[in-house]
Amino acid sequence: MLAGAAALAGTATALSAGSPAAASRADGHRSKAVVFRNVRPFGAKTPVDLTVVDGRITDGRAPKGAEVIDCGGRVALPSLVDAHIHPDKTTWGGDWVSRKPASGIADYVAQDVELFKSQKRPVGERAYGLMAHAVTRGTRAMRAHVDVAPAYDLAGVEGVNAARERLKHALDVQIVAFPQHGVIRTPGTAELLEEAARSGSVDLVGGIDPISFDNAMDEQLDLVFDLADRHGVGVDIHLHDRDEKGTEVLRAIIDRTRALSLRGKVTVSHVFCLPYLSDSELGKMAADLGEQDISLTTVAPNESLVLPIAKLREHGVRVGLGSDGVRDAWSPFGNADMLHRTHILGWVTDVRLDDELAECYRVGAHGGADVMGLDHADLKPGAPADFILVRGEGVQQVLVDMPQRDMVVHGGRVVARNGELA
């Protein structure tokens, strides 16, 4: 196993397969068993068989009659998790859109509405295309931020829910009702957030820059946290401020999480203020975030705005990686390929060493799983059978070269081959 891969995987186990055994459980349920033959977990020198029963990797013997898939000595790596993406906004798979100049969030928001009105394909179709593409690139789960505003009503939530249903065999999805237009500054948004939370169609409610954009920190946060408390959903708030406005909001989020006993149910996205703190200030903030189990997400936009992941993890803060917007009104860039995003994380943080490259992959694979409350797909016995199969040497080389995902497995089922849905 290559250096660094052991830290990512824990202890890899050679798993046996092919021997007769009972094919039914005591409850009479017939197990679904698959043997992935000739696999090299994390680039191990000696191929093994990965045995999957009912969607989980096992170190037991495969039931008689198990399906066998020869993997040709390919490297198996954990599938990746996109902890922050906006699939409702995308133009993926459609005609080219020329973007116009924008000087701030208000301009982008206006252009979002123009783009939404100009699209011939409904949200559900566009979102499905992007989310399906993400599956073919090895994404096992995503947290989808979906615009909720009077300009759209709940069309985005309905569309992404439809796409989630179509892909439920291949992708785990959490939906955030995201007030991109502001909670307070745009009348009618609060009522739509309430409707979305009450209906059960979303898993979390969001917020955006309570001071610098909404100009009503206490009012926005009180409303969002009250919805979460009353309806049993989580919170995921966009925070772009790079100065004391950002730290003031972060402190207010910590206080409300503590007051409402929402520990473990709150996420803050982007959090551009953290990289600008001194080491002592960062340590104190990280300790408070860790105490309340408030998770964070980054999209690694550049060296100065990527979160200090290692320092945060020292205090038990869960940090996930995400794609953000993909070919929308905000930017022509993006591809929903989380292997590419882990590559970008390594690039902007200027990593060189094998252990550092393996840590980037860990963030892409397991950081987002931690944020979403999912088990690690670490190829250990008992883990979800969510992995990719690629030609390569090991995790470091795969992260750098980004080879084609020859096969994508979700819950023990092959859901994509050679870049196409199976």
Tell me, what's the pLDDT at 13? 38
Which has the closest alpha carbon to 288: 242, 256, 322? 256
Is the Cβ–Cβ distance between 144 and 160 less than 8 Å?
A: yes
Is the Cβ–Cβ distance between 180 and 210 less than 8 Å?
A: no
DSSP label of 181: T
The CB-based long-range contact list for 274-281 (8 Å cut-off, 24+ gap) reads 274/246, 274/250, 274/307, 274/308, 274/312, 275/304, 275/305, 275/306, 275/307, 275/308, 276/242, 276/243, 277/247, 279/311, 281/247
Residue-wise pLDDT for 199-243, tens only, equals 999 999 999 999 999 999 999 999 999 999 999 999 999 999 999
Q: What's the Cα-to-Cα distance from 343 to each of 42, 137, 389, rounded to whole Å?
A: 17, 13, 17
| The model's pTM | 0.94
CA 245 to CA 54: how far, in whole Å?
Answer: 48
Q: Tokens for 316?
A: 């038990």
Tell me, what's the pLDDT at 224? 98
Centre a 10 Å sphere on the Cβ of residue 164 and count the other Cβ atoms it contains.
22
Per-residue pLDDT tens, the chain, 422 aa: give them.
Answer: 445 565 565 533 333 333 333 334 444 445 699 999 999 999 999 999 999 999 999 999 988 999 999 999 999 999 999 999 999 999 999 999 999 999 999 999 999 999 999 999 999 999 999 999 999 999 999 999 999 999 999 999 999 999 999 999 999 999 999 999 999 999 999 999 999 999 999 999 999 999 999 999 999 999 999 999 999 999 999 999 999 999 999 999 999 999 999 999 999 999 999 999 999 999 999 999 999 999 999 999 999 999 999 999 999 999 999 999 999 999 999 999 999 999 999 999 999 999 999 999 999 999 999 999 999 999 999 999 999 999 999 999 999 999 999 999 999 999 999 999 99
Residue-wise pLDDT for 251-303, tens only, equals 999 999 999 999 999 999 999 999 999 999 999 999 999 999 999 999 999 99
Tell me, what's the pLDDT at 12? 39
Tell me, what's the pLDDT at 7? 53
Is the Cβ–Cβ distance between 154 and 195 less than 8 Å?
A: yes
